[in-house]
Amino acid sequence: MHSLFYKIFLSFLLITLLASITTVIISYLAQVGPYGALKKRVEQNQIQALTHYLSVTGLAAVKILDNGGKEALRSYLLDVEKQNHSRIFLFQEDNNNLLNHTLPQGAANLAVSSQNSHDIQYNISETEIIIAVPLFTQDGQNMTLVGSTIRVTRPNIFIDKKMENGWRQIFFLGHRFGLPVIVVLFIAGAGCYLLARSLTAPIRDLRKATQQMSKGDFSTRINLANRRKDEIAGLSRDFNTMAERTQSLIRSQKRLLRDVSHELRSPLTRQTLALELAKQRFSNGEPYLARIEKESRRLGELIDQLLILTRLEGNMDNCLKEPVDLHKLLTSIVHDAAFEAVYQDRGVDIRTLAEVTVSGSIEMIHRALENVIRNGLRYTAIGSNVEITLSKDDPIATITVRDHGTGIPQEYHEQIFKPFFRVEKSRNQDSGGTGIGLAIAKQAILMHNGSILARNARTGGLVIEIRLPLS
């Protein structure tokens, strides 16, 4: 059964057939088989016992009627009912009920039939057996003694009558189709449960694997090909192929960044050395040498940032865990940033700083917060401040950094955390930076099971919100 379609189709077909066959077998056993034969024997025994009981009672009733009259007969029959916990009805020749009891359905007609035939008559319903016995007095009167008893349809497994009635109502045991319906529901439920479990178990494995991939673990694989031969197994093979290909591409990309960064560092060092020698020998080339020095410094910063980003992406789950006082860390970063921002006619404004401690790497969290704050200083308007708040709401600590710049279009709110992504116009390379700072911040925050997002402030500017789990 290599096709999931045929597996579902044949499973439902098998469940339906099993339920139908079980219903037929139960019906056969109940009507024709051993259980049906037992029911017939019990039924005959009940009829014989009730007939004998009515015959004996009838002989005594005739003698009492002849000797004591109708009142003595009525008293006798009432005493017999109490002693035997049964119901008795005595029909006189004019079909009047001597005891004035409420008659069961069909009792009157059965009495007339017995009088006309001068023979014992009985009627069997779903719940009751009624028997009519003709009686003949010495003075020639014709009477009919009718008795009824509850029909036994199954063994009594309950001692308490109330408990029996309760279970009969719950499981429809009093109905002829009660037991077959329960059996069919049990078989169908068990079959559907096994089918659902068979289908959902590999899907849960696939979901776990995708969650692992979303966390950066591209070594995750699903081993279903040996256990299944259907479409889900094919899906698992495709997933493994995709994961392997993705892992290979990511590994190649990281290797390329690392190799390029290392390869560029050596010539860049030599270039810097040559630049210093040129400054000493050629005093009239100072403007050009200054430009070369500026670009070399920017290239060095880019290489350093690339190496940091590569290290973060390769060690998402292996960072050193230690208590980090965010209040103290932010105070230190803001102090340094504010000192540099004075010369740019910008500032840093701390709104609120709660006492918050998280668990993680001080170096990585410091780098993430510093990159975000410096990014805000780079794009906030001249004469404005970057606003910083730190709050906690168990179990999360929240850091917000807001600038008063022009903001960015909403469609770029997620893309600004990608390496080398730049928004057009105001946020370009002329504003400074390498285009990797926010990417490093995101990787550092994700390393600590946190989140980082960007949104535009209502009155203008960009707000970057960082959320970290408390230690």
| Tens-place pLDDT, residues 63-83 | 887 787 778 878 888 888 777
- Of residues 332 and 419, the one with the higher pLDDT is 332
Q: Give the whole-angstrom CA distance, residue 47 versus residue 50.
A: 5
Q: Does 189 have pLDDT greater than 60?
A: yes
Q: Give the whole-angstrom CA distance, residue 369 versus residue 207.
A: 33
How many domains is the chain built from? 3
Q: 419: left (phi > 0), else alpha (psi -120 to 50), else beta?
A: beta
In what helix (H) or strand (E) does residue 144 lie, and over which residues does it extend? strand 142-150
CA dihedral 169, 175, 177, 179 (to 10 degrees): 50
- Of residues 55 and 140, the one with the higher pLDDT is 55
State the catalytic residues: 262
- Considering the domain architecture, whether residues 389 and 414 belong to the same structural domain is answered as yes
- Considering the domain architecture, whether residues 464 and 402 belong to the same structural domain is answered as yes
pLDDT of 177 reads 55
- Considering the domain architecture, whether residues 357 and 448 belong to the same structural domain is answered as yes
Considering the domain boundaries, does residue 342 fall inside one?
yes
Q: Give the whole-angstrom CA distance, residue 224 versus residue 374.
A: 49
Question: 470 - beta bridge partners?
Answer: 358
Q: Does 281 have pLDDT greater than 60?
A: yes
Q: How does residue 390 score in pLDDT terms, banded at 50, 70 and 90?
A: very high
In what helix (H) or strand (E) does residue 210 lie, and over which residues does it extend? helix 178-214
pLDDT of 398 reads 94
- Of residues 162 and 201, the one with the higher pLDDT is 201
Considering the domain boundaries, does residue 172 fall inside one?
no
**Least confident window among 108-122, 204-218, 264-278:** 264-278
Task: Please report, for the domain that includes residue 426, its CATH number.
Answer: 3.30.565.10
Q: Give the whole-angstrom CA distance, residue 418 versus residue 202.
A: 34
Q: Give the whole-angstrom CA distance, residue 182 versus residue 23.
A: 10
Gyration radius (Cα) of the chain, Å: 47
Q: Give the whole-angstrom CA distance, residue 326 versus residue 445.
A: 13
Strands across the sheet containing 451-456 = 347-353, 385-393, 396-402, 462-469, 451-456
Degrees to nearest 5, angle at CA 255 with 252 and 261: 140
Q: Does 394 have pLDDT greater than 60?
A: yes
User: Tokens 């993680």, residue?
Assistant: 360
Task: Please report, for the domain that includes residue 259, its CATH number.
Answer: 1.10.287.130
Considering the domain boundaries, does residue 291 fall inside one?
yes
Considering the domain boundaries, does residue 178 fall inside one?
no
Q: Does 172 have pLDDT greater than 50?
A: no
- Considering the domain architecture, whether residues 450 and 333 belong to the same structural domain is answered as yes
Q: Is the peptide bond before 409 cis (omega within 30 degrees of 0)?
A: no
- Considering the domain architecture, whether residues 356 and 249 belong to the same structural domain is answered as no
- Of residues 32 and 392, the one with the higher pLDDT is 392
The count of other CB atoms within 10 Å of the CB of residue 325 is 14
Considering the domain boundaries, does residue 275 fall inside one?
yes
Task: Please report, for the domain that includes residue 142, its CATH number.
Answer: 3.30.450.20
Considering the domain boundaries, does residue 431 fall inside one?
yes
Q: Look at residue 451 and give its three-state secondary structure.
A: strand
Q: Does 403 have pLDDT greater than 90?
A: yes
- Considering the domain architecture, whether residues 307 and 328 belong to the same structural domain is answered as no
pLDDT of 199 reads 76
- What pTM did the predictor assign? 0.48
**Least confident window among 19-28, 365-374, 408-417:** 19-28
pLDDT of 288 reads 63
- Considering the domain architecture, whether residues 119 and 253 belong to the same structural domain is answered as no
Q: Residue 369 in contact with residue 358, Cβ under 8 Å?
A: no
Q: Does 453 have pLDDT greater than 90?
A: yes
Q: Give the whole-angstrom CA distance, residue 451 versus residue 439.
A: 12
Final residue of a structural domain among 130, 153, 176: 153
DSSP string spanning 368-406?
HHHHHHHHHHHHSPTT-EEEEEEEEETTEEEEEEE--S-
Q: Residue 149 in contact with residue 53, Cβ under 8 Å?
A: no
- Considering the domain architecture, whether residues 305 and 437 belong to the same structural domain is answered as no
How much is the average pLDDT of 233-256? 80
Q: Give the whole-angstrom CA distance, residue 373 versus residue 280.
A: 38
- Considering the domain architecture, whether residues 329 and 454 belong to the same structural domain is answered as yes
Range of the domain at 143: 33-153
CA dihedral 176, 178, 183, 185 (to 10 degrees): 130
Q: Does 431 have pLDDT greater than 70?
A: no
- Considering the domain architecture, whether residues 409 and 309 belong to the same structural domain is answered as no
Q: Does 178 have pLDDT greater than 70?
A: no
DSSP string spanning 290-312?
HHHHHHHHHHHHHHHHHHHHHHH
Q: How does residue 434 score in pLDDT terms, banded at 50, 70 and 90?
A: low
Final residue of a structural domain among 135, 153, 171: 153
- Considering the domain architecture, whether residues 132 and 89 belong to the same structural domain is answered as yes
Considering the domain boundaries, does residue 131 fall inside one?
yes
- Considering the domain architecture, whether residues 296 and 331 belong to the same structural domain is answered as no
Final residue of a structural domain among 153, 169, 197: 153
Q: How does residue 195 score in pLDDT terms, banded at 50, 70 and 90?
A: confident
pLDDT of 425 reads 47
Considering the domain boundaries, does residue 50 fall inside one?
yes
